[in-house]
Amino acid sequence: MKSKVLKLLATGVMAVALAASFGAFTTFAETVKASGNLDGDVIGWKYYADKDKTQEITEEEYWEDPYNSNYTSEKVIEKSCKWTLYNSGRLDITLNSGYKSGTIADFSKVTDVPWYQYRSSVTSVNVAEGVTSIGKWTFGSLENCKSATLPSTIDTIPVSCFSGSGLTTFTMPQNIKKIALYAFKGCTSLSSVTFDENLTEIDTNAFENSGLVNLDFTSGITTIGNNAFLGCTELKSVNIPNIESFGVYVFSGCTSLETVTFDEGITALQDSTFFGCTSLKSIALPENLKTIGNGTFNSSGLEYIILPESLEYIGYSAFASTDLEAVYLQSPISTLTEGTFSNENNIINFYVERTSELKNVIYPYIRGIEKDNGARFSVKDLGDIDGNSSWNDMDISHALRYVTTAESDDIVDKYALDMNLDGNRDMVDVIALYNYIRQ
Percent of the chain residues topping a pLDDT of 70: 74
Residue 411 has what pLDDT? 60
Residue 113 in 3-state DSSP?
coil
Residues 123 and 89: beta-carbon distance below 8 Å: yes
What is each CA distance from 186 to 11, 156, 228, 254, in whole angstroms?
41, 19, 12, 14
The confidence score (pLDDT) of residue 429 equals 83
Q: What is the mean pLDDT of the chain?
A: 79
pLDDT of residue 70: 59
**Is the model more confident about 191 or about 54?**
191
User: How many contiguous H segments (helices) and E segments (strands) does the chain have?
Assistant: 6, 27
Of the candidate ranges 46-55, 221-230, 280-289, the one whose mean pLDDT is the lowest? 46-55
Average pLDDT estimate for 60-86: 62
User: With contact defined as beta carbons under 8 Å apart, do 322 and 301 qualify?
Assistant: yes
- Please provide residue 7's backbone torsions phi and psi, each rounded to the nearest 5 degrees: -65, -40
At 370 the pLDDT is: 55
The pLDDT of residue 10: 42
Contact (Cβ atoms closer than 8 angstroms) between residue 279 and residue 256: yes
Tell me what pLDDT residue 44 has: 42
Does the pLDDT value for residue 38 go beyond 90?
no
The amino acid occupying position 263 is D
pLDDT at residue 114 greater than cutoff 70: yes
Residue type, 78: E
Residue 272 pLDDT > 70, yes or no? yes
* Average pLDDT rounded to a whole number, residues 289-295: 94
How far apart (Å, rounded) are the C-alpha atoms in residues 273 and 295? 8
Report the pLDDT value the prediction gives residue 229, as an integer from 0 to 100.
98
Measured distance CA(215)–CA(170) in Å, rounded? 13
Average pLDDT, integer, range 58-63: 53
The structural domains of the chain, ordered by start, are 36-386 (3.80.10.10), 387-439 (1.10.1330)
Tens-place pLDDT, residues 206-263: 999 999 999 999 889 999 999 999 999 999 999 998 888 899 999 999 999 999 999 8
- Which pLDDT tens digit goes with each residue over 417-430? 888 888 888 888 88
Q: Is the pLDDT of residue 58 over 60?
A: no
